[in-house]
Amino acid sequence: MRVFLTGSTGFVGSQVAQELIRGGHQVLGLTRSDKGAEALAALGAEAFRGDIEDLASLQRGAAQCDSVIHTAFDHDFAHFVENCQKDRRAILALGAALEGSDRPLLITSGTPIGSAGPGLVATEDYFNPDHPNPRVASELAGAELTQRGVNVSVMRLSQIHDTVKQGFVSYVIEVARRTGVSAYVDEGLNNWTAAHISDTARLFRLALEKNQPGARYHATAEEAIPFRQIAEAIGQHFGLPVASIPSAQAAEHFGWMAAFVGKDMSASGALTRQRLNWQPAGPSLFEDLAAM
C-alpha cells in the first residue's frame, strides 16, 4: 500500500515509516521542513510538505494514498486540552478525504481512554464518549467518521520507549533532574504501562494490514508497572534520592505532570495480541532506563 503518514519524522512515526517500508509498503510522510524531507529520503520515504494545522494539506496528502496512519500530535502537554482538540480537527480532515471509499484510517490515542473508571484496567473494547481524559477528543472524531462510513481504527499508546525517550517517563526524568529528587505520589502504587518502540512500530503495520474497521488496539507489552518502581529506577540511574510527595503537593513538584503521575494507567493488551498475533519482543522499560 501507499501510506500517508503524519508524524513521520517523530519518535513513533519515524519508526513506523521504517517498519512499513521493510514490510513492502510505500510511505508518503508529512513534514514541515527541509530537514524533515531529508530524514524521510534517508529512510526511503517520499516527503509531503504540510502541517497538522493546515487541514487542506492533510486532505491533499490523504487523497494521494491507499491508506492513512495518523501518529502526529502536539506534545506540549502544558496545553494538553487544546492540543487534543487540534488532533480532533486533523482527524476529521483526514477522514473527509477518505469518505466514500474503503481506504483505512488508523488514528492514535492513549490507553487510559480504555479504562471504565479510576483504578480499572483499560481494555481495547471499552470506549466511553464521556471519558474525562481530554484525549477522548481523538476517538470521538474517529467515532464520528465511522458513522459517516469511513474505515477507522484506533491505536492506543502506552509509554513508548527506547534508550532515548520513554513517553511520559521522559518528563518525569526531567523533573527529577531539575529538582534533585526522584519522586512518586503518596505510596506510588498506581500502575503505568509500556511498550518498546520496535514492538509498537510493528503493531501499527499489523493493524494496517489486518484492516479491521472499528477496531481498537493497545500498544501494551507491560501491563502494570508500579510508578514507585519507575521513580526508584530513575533515582538509581541518576544517583538521586527517591521520595514520596503527598498528593496535595504534587502540582507544586511535578507541574503539569501532576495530572498524570498519580493516576493509575494500567492497561491490558491481551485482545491486541490475540487479534493481530502480536508478540512483543523488545527490551522492557527498566532495561531501557538502565541503558540510557
In the three-class reduction of DSSP (H, G, I as helix; E, B as strand; rest coil), residue 239 is classed as coil
Architecture of domain 161-193+223-290 in CATH?
A: Alpha-Beta Complex (3.90)
What's the whole-number mean pLDDT along residues 188-207?
A: 98
Does the CA dihedral 166-168-170-176 come out positive or negative? negative
pTM passes above 0.85: yes
Phi, psi angles (nearest 5°) of residue 76: -85, 90
Give the span between the Cα atoms of 158 and 266, in whole angstroms. Answer: 9
- What tens digit of pLDDT does each residue of 112-167 get? 999 999 889 999 999 999 999 999 999 999 999 999 999 999 999 999 999 999 99
- What tens digit of pLDDT does each residue of 56-75 get? 999 999 999 999 999 999 99
pLDDT at 86: 98
Give the span between the Cα atoms of 291 and 289, in whole angstroms. Answer: 5
What are the residue ranges spanned by the domains of the chain?
A: 2-157+196-220, 161-193+223-290
Give the span between the Cα atoms of 144 and 149, in whole angstroms. Answer: 9
pLDDT at 264: 95
pLDDT at 25: 98
Give the span between the Cα atoms of 263 and 282, in whole angstroms. Answer: 25
pLDDT band at 77; cut points 50, 70, 90: confident
Number of other CB atoms surrounding residue 239 within 10 Å: 7
In the three-class reduction of DSSP (H, G, I as helix; E, B as strand; rest coil), residue 115 is classed as coil
Please give the grid coordinates belonging to residue 141: 472524531
Give the span between the Cα atoms of 181 and 166, in whole angstroms. Answer: 19
Please give the grid coordinates belonging to residue 169: 517517563
- What tens digit of pLDDT does each residue of 201-234 get? 999 999 999 999 999 999 999 999 999 999 999 9
- What tens digit of pLDDT does each residue of 262-277 get? 999 999 999 999 999 9
Sheet holding 151-157, edge to edge: 46-49, 26-31, 2-6, 67-70, 104-110, 151-157, 216-219
CATH fold for the domain made of 2-157+196-220: Rossmann fold (3.40.50)
Please give the grid coordinates belonging to residue 199: 514492538
Q: What are 161's strand-pairing partners? A: 166, 196
